[in-house]
Structure 1
Amino acid sequence: MIALFFATPIECEIIFDRLKNKSSFVLKKVSFIKGKIQKHEILLCISGIGKINASIASILAFENFPINKAIISGIAGAYPSSGLDIGDIAVAEKEIEADQGLLINCETGENSFLFMDYQEFPLHIPTSLQNYKKGTFLTVSACTGNLKRANFLEKKFGAICENMEGAAIAKVGQLYNIPVTEIRSISNIVTDRTELLITKEVKNAAEIVQKFILENPLLFE
């Protein structure tokens, strides 16, 4: 069985609709949907946003179902020098939990952190994804809405994009010895912001990566 992890329902609507023989249920307030895509048994998990929700959801999935592979998906914000554009597909080579430590300068810059306490987790890249944009993903507790901080994080970690769940699921997968792949679509370029993304931007990016997954059946092999 293959576990597909998405943070929110809007990020997995197309895949939900495509599942055959669906059965929905809730474990510890986390939503799961079992079904099939072609011949493959799928567990669709809607984890909720953030590292805590992602950790709980992945532990529940790996403890209660015969998962042999996991795919993390959804949207991501690309860093300014990544070469990624809105709507592009990005594949994680590794995930880094990037915002633990002592933050001493909210305006960011080279001395933003006095002490960094971060972990990194390698991810599995199937052969079918080798030709797509690959790189380091960062998992953060709050999306970056400051260009100076974006430049700091990008330079510090050599990262191409950020999200809020990936490192948590990657770590749990490592503990359970389950290979984890992460594929995301870019919803925005990280810069100075004063508001959240609008639903249309999220939905467009989410649709792109869902269609990509469904059109690449080798991901399920």
Structure 2
Amino acid sequence: MIALFFATEKECELIINSLSNKQFFSIKTVSFIKGKIKDVDLLLCISGIGKTSATLASVICFEKFSIKGTIVSGIGGAYPSSGLDIGSIVVAEKEIFADEGLLRNCNANIDSFIFLNSEEILLYVPHFLKTLPKGTFLTVSSCTGNLERAIFLEKNFNGICENMEGAAVAKVCEIYKIPCIEIRSISNIVTDRAELLSLKEISKASMIVQKFILEHIKLFEESL
């Protein structure tokens, strides 16, 4: 069975609606939906937002179910120099916990950050995904709404986009020796902003990567 991780229900509505033989249930408050798409057995996990929720959800998932591979998906914010556009589908080659340590300032040109968790978690990139834009994803505790910090993060870690759960799920997959693919659609370019994304923006961006996953689910299964 393949596990699909999304932070929120809004990011996976299309996949939920596409499942046949749906079974809804929760374990320790984590929501799961079991079903099939094109005869592929899937377990959809709605982890909740952030690293702690993602870690707990993935541990519960791998302890309770026999999972042969994992797909982490949803939306992400692209860094200014990434060359990515809103709606781009991007694949993670590796994940980094990008805000664990001592941040002295956001000047990207000086030694401003003492990094406590320097581990880079490698992710699995199947052959059929290698033509898509790919690179380093950064997992952060809070979305970046400041251009100076965005430039600092992308230069310091050579990151192309950020999210709030990927590295946590990838780390647990590494411990359990489960292949992990992370594929997201870009919802925004990280810059100065005062507000969170609207539900409409989240839904519009997430539909793009959901459609891709649905169209290629057999290839995902064959590669895992």
TM-score category of the 2 structures, normalised to the smaller one:
over 0.9
User: Are 1:193 and 2:184 matched, yes or no?
Assistant: no
Matches within 5 A, 1:71-220: 71-105=71-105, 108-110=106-108, 111=110, 113-118=112-117, 119-217=119-217, 218-220=219-221
Could you tell me the TM-score, scaled by structure 2's length? 0.95
**Aligned equivalent of 1:60:** 60
Could you tell me the TM-score, scaled by structure 1's length? 0.97
**Aligned equivalent of 2:21:** 21
Superposition deviation, residue 103 in structure 1? 2.2
Structure 1 residues not aligned, in runs of 5+? none
C-alpha contact 1:144 1:190 (8 A) present in aligned 2: yes
Q: Which portions of structure 1, spanning 4 or more consecutive aligned residues, are displaced by more than 6 angstroms? A: none
User: Are 1:11 and 2:25 matched, yes or no?
Assistant: no
Letter in 1 for 2:115: M
Say what the alpha-carbon RMSD is for the aligned residues. Answer: 1.0
CA distance in 2, matches of 1:44, 1:220: 14
| Identical residues among aligned pairs (%) | 62
Letter in 1 for 2:132: Y
Letter in 2 for 1:125: V
- Secondary structure of 2:172's counterpart equals helix
Superposition deviation, residue 132 in structure 1? 0.2
Encode CA deviations 1:112-168: one digit per residue, 9 max, x unaligned. 844111232000001110100000000000001110110111011111000000000
Encode CA deviations 1:175-195: one digit per residue, 9 max, x unaligned. 000000000000000000111
Superposition deviation, residue 200 in structure 1? 1.2
CA distance in 2, matches of 1:72, 1:16: 15
CA distance in 2, matches of 1:205, 1:57: 24
- Aligned residue pairs total 219
CA distance in 1, matches of 2:133, 2:221: 20
Structure 2 residues not aligned, in runs of 5+? none
